[in-house]
Structure 1
Amino acid sequence: MQIFHFTNKTQYYSTNKFINLIIISCFSLIIYFICSIFLAPNNHFHTSISLQNNLSSSQTNLDHVVFGIASNELSWSKRKEYVKLWWKPKRMRGCVFLEKMIHFSSNDTNGDEYSLPQICISENTSNFRYTHKGGTPSAIRVARVVLETVRLNYTNVRWFVFGDDDTIFFQENLVKTLSKYDHRFWYYIGTNSESFMQNKFFSYEMAFGGAGFAISYPLAKVLAKVFDSCIERYPHLYGSDGRIHACLSELGVGLTREPGFHQMDFHKNVFGMLAAHPIRPLVSMHHIEEIDPIFPNMTTVKALEHLYNAASFDPHRILQQTVCYDTWFSWTVSLSWGYAVQVFDKHVLLPNVQRVQESYAPWKSSHLGGLYDFDTRKYEPDPCQRQPVYFLDKVSSSINGTESIYKKKTFEKCKFDMSSPRRLEKIRVLSNKLVLDKQQLLAPRRHCCDVLPSTSSNVMEIAIRECKEDELIHMQH
């Protein structure tokens, strides 16, 4: 045992004072740490984030997403064919919510249990008031799909995604879009309607449910806790998405818009919209039964299968519009990859090529029904006055990337000479697989393309590439 010797009282008291100071300092530090843990405001939030850093370091993928699909026993037998197009049974989690169970014969199911999500029966909502005269109380049941999906208690969830049974998703693009956002924070991601009238009547701040929308895990958990008490205040609203939007608004959360989601409030021919898709990954399409098949001479399902086949080669490039100019003939070429190529027999400035052609019929036939919330231009009714269109025929992998072939699918008896693009029978497009890194996701830039020398006067060849740093997309003289 060590013994301290003090030569005088001053030395003794000085040392004792120093020891007491150390004890007091240590005690103060202990009190500080205890208070910071238990009394500091919102400290649990920061602690929670630090504990989740390891989880968050991994890239968001399909395993982190849970789907809630709203349907009913009358529509599911037909619309399940649309869900089959995009559902990956071994990788996707979620439920289709019906009002009651449907009893199929063995001939009707055709292996559906292996190619579709499981069926969940919605809870009884008859005790909730519904007072909108033009709608149906089933809107309450559909709204509660959000709550009931969260209550399925899946693990390792980052995002809940909701849609209708006639909503189709492009899974790779959905995940890529969601990966831009930190799932630990409160996000409500979706889009409006294309129709000015629809947005004005419902809300510009509401994610339209048919287009599909995503809610981050922590927000969905809180929303599920308060949802039933919240919707009691909104019996007058028309639809399910309006109720979800109202409750999220009460939680102080606004809509984060992503233009890759598509409500598709159109009728008939939606060529104009698909041919001028924004520079964002295609995430969803709705109202499949309300529009014409997107490829000529095909059924709706076959046409969508054709699009999904193209997407399997290059999912992030699907429908991405690229524009280039043939200076020899002064032609303007607009390519919507995996869908169609248009060749204009004149010089069209790029901002005009990007405008959506009004090929479709409006959702509502009122005087405001034809107003849209994006740039449009008229669609020429005379096919001989319109630019010729070449629709996707096939896609294949090549040594240097991907080759896609586009051909005429409709034939009009139009007069033309050899300087007209109508003489073309086929368009061949070469491209590398589009890789969406963080920069391209957050600050997207359109790709460039070149019209290549062709060995045949009836074939046009095009190569897609990244634009040079200071390159302008315009007609060069």
Structure 2
Amino acid sequence: MQHLKNPTKTQSLISFILVCSSFGVVYLLVSLLAVRTSRVVHVVHSSSSQDVAARTSLDHVVFGIASSMKSWPKRKEYTKLWWKPNQMRGCVFVESLSAEEEQGNNIGSSSLPPLCVSEDTSRFRYTYRGGSRSAIRVARVVAETVALNHSDVRWYVFGDDDTVFFPENLLKILSKYDHELWYYIGAHSESYEQNRFFGFGMAFGGAGFAISSSLAKVLAKVFDSCIERYPHLYGSDSRVYSCLTELGVGLTHEPGFHQVDMHGNMFGLLAAHPVTPLLSLHHMDYTDPIFPNMTRTQALGRLFEAASVDSQRMLQQTVCYDRWYSWTISVSWGYAVQVFPNHMFLPDALSVQQTFRQWKKGNPFAAAFTFNKKDPHPDPCKRPTIFHLDSLSSGEDVIISNYTRHYQNCSYDPASPRKLEAIKVVTNKLDFSIKQLQAPRRQCCDVLPPTASDLMEIAIRECKEDELIHMH
């Protein structure tokens, strides 16, 4: 037959096809292996990044605190509340040292950070009318803190001598972010007027802010040349913000930092904290003690007692409803419980009551704030009965916080909350994962069957998947 006359050519063609097929199979196997390997590498890298974040500790943070020899003797009492000796690193920067401090830097005060003398800033121009040249010195705390050359730093945190930090919560929030990337983390003021004047994109220095180590090192290199362009600015934080803006970095907003640009009773702000860990409080000298019948320092000490038991739950607001009496109960854990004598829609229960005064008097913007607020009810008989934290106890699985009555409304209705003398709140310790911090959800609570006529017991728990917090 004709097709059998050239067997050699036929065999060659078959061999060629087999070789090509073999190369194709090899190529396919190599490609699949490459894809699989890349996926494994990606997963390992992602896991490694999460592990690094999870391991972020106080050893990786350096604090730069701005102060002066005039204010430090009094305000160091605030710093004692949150500073952890032998665990924290950083300095309190002052313009000079007194004779006593010269002889022994914070001698006898192991509970305080060391004092550092700021560098001379007379070479820098300052043209803001009515302002203080110390704003330049305070701004340079950023560069001088980096110049301390601490090893293995991931984050630099800055604040004032009257900034009260909550270190455990601060670590938890910073763990959300990769310190090898450029991050500038903080919050704006509660006052609309302050933000309008200084900028909504700026982290207010009194509230405190954090800068990742990778960004801080670059900022320190260019800082002096940068602030020469801003002699007209008022504050130190404005200069830091301007220089970071020149580097192309914007603010990452974390609402747990609190500038507290307000006067008087800040109960309304603390009792309606956002669903995020409490990171800082500022301007304590300008506000009333946050607990009744205490000094400012004693009152803050009470708050830190609660923080030592369950720091992440501090001020977390939970709302539940008592069906029998038609009460609305708002728990600001570790601080206060409010019992409203009527059922309220949840958004109304979450609004900030304006118990405080505005920061400055003046134009209409001065009375505006950056959150939903409402005035206390004009009828005192319809205001909530308030219970403040009195004591805490914790076991292996359960934390019990007790609140005693401080303010009662004037209603004598049989269903009035005024008959209550105390409230007991039962919880488990709150330990947010990174995912929960990135997508937070408010927790739920239940009013438990009464064990005494003058005592209310409440249990806080995670909400079920499709559970709604609503009045009945």
Confirm or deny that 1:373 pairs with 2:370. yes
Q: SS at the partner of 1:369? A: helix
How far did residue 112 of structure 1 move? Answer: 4.4
Corresponding letter in the other structure for 2:181? F
How far did residue 384 of structure 1 move? Answer: 3.7
- The separation in 1 between residues aligned to 2:60 and 2:367, in whole angstroms, is 39
Which residue among 39, 58, 77 is the counterpart of 2:73?
77
How far did residue 110 of structure 1 move? Answer: 8.9
Deviates more, 1:381-390 or 1:418-427: 381-390
Q: SS at the partner of 2:292? A: coil
After superposition, what is the alpha-carbon deviation per residue over 1:153-190, rounded to whole angstroms, capped at 9, x for unaligned? Answer: 00010000000000000000000000000000000000
- The separation in 2 between residues aligned to 1:435 and 1:474, in whole angstroms, is 25
Number of residue-to-residue matches in the alignment: 425
Which residue among 357, 361, 368 is the counterpart of 1:361?
357
Question: Residue 109 of structure 2 corresponds to which residue in structure 1?
Answer: 113
Question: Residue 144 of structure 1 corresponds to which residue in structure 2?
Answer: 140
- The separation in 2 between residues aligned to 1:365 and 1:351, in whole angstroms, is 29
Question: Residue 162 of structure 2 corresponds to which residue in structure 1?
Answer: 166
Structure 1 runs of 4+ with >4 Å offset: 52-55, 108-112
Question: Residue 258 of structure 2 corresponds to which residue in structure 1?
Answer: 262
- The separation in 2 between residues aligned to 1:105 and 1:143, in whole angstroms, is 23
Q: SS at the partner of 2:79? A: helix
Is there any run of 5+ residues in structure 2 with no aligned partner, and where?
1-44
- The separation in 2 between residues aligned to 1:460 and 1:191, in whole angstroms, is 37
TM-score, normalised to structure 2, is 0.87
CA separation of 1:103 and 1:379: change in aligned 2, threshold 3 A? farther
Question: Residue 311 of structure 1 corresponds to which residue in structure 2?
Answer: 307
Question: Residue 402 of structure 1 corresponds to which residue in structure 2?
Answer: 399
- The separation in 1 between residues aligned to 2:108 and 2:252, in whole angstroms, is 35
After superposition, what is the alpha-carbon deviation per residue over 1:53-76, rounded to whole angstroms, capped at 9, x for unaligned? Answer: 799366211110000000001000
How far did residue 418 of structure 1 move? Answer: 2.2
Q: Is the 8 A contact 1:297 1:409 kept in 2?
A: no
Which residue among 206, 209, 216 is the counterpart of 2:205?
209
Question: Residue 40 of structure 1 corresponds to which residue in structure 2?
Answer: none
CA separation of 1:211 and 1:112: change in aligned 2, threshold 3 A? farther
1:12-411 alignment, distance < 5 Å: 56=52, 59-104=55-100, 112-366=108-362, 367-380=364-377, 383-398=380-395, 400-410=397-407
How far did residue 345 of structure 1 move? Answer: 0.7
- The separation in 1 between residues aligned to 2:340 and 2:49, in whole angstroms, is 52
- The separation in 2 between residues aligned to 1:387 and 1:121, in whole angstroms, is 49
Corresponding letter in the other structure for 1:395? L
How far did residue 104 of structure 1 move? Answer: 3.5
How far did residue 297 of structure 1 move? Answer: 0.5
Corresponding letter in the other structure for 1:406? Y
Corresponding letter in the other structure for 2:390? D
> What root-mean-square deviation, in Å, do the aligned CA atoms of Structure 1 and Structure 2 show?
2.0
Corresponding letter in the other structure for 2:134? S
Which residue among 408, 421, 427 is the counterpart of 2:423?
427
Q: Is the 8 A contact 2:319 2:329 kept in 1?
A: yes
- The separation in 2 between residues aligned to 1:326 and 1:408, in whole angstroms, is 18
After superposition, what is the alpha-carbon deviation per residue over 1:423-468, rounded to whole angstroms, capped at 9, x for unaligned? Answer: 1000000000001112211100000000000111111000000000
Deviates more, 1:110-119 or 1:302-311: 110-119
- The separation in 2 between residues aligned to 1:58 and 1:357, in whole angstroms, is 36
Deviates more, 1:373-382 or 1:332-341: 373-382
Corresponding letter in the other structure for 1:417? D
Q: SS at the partner of 2:130? A: coil
Q: Is the 8 A contact 1:296 1:410 kept in 2?
A: no
- The separation in 2 between residues aligned to 1:64 and 1:409, in whole angstroms, is 42
Question: Residue 32 of structure 1 corresponds to which residue in structure 2?
Answer: none
Counting aligned pairs with the same residue, the percent is: 61
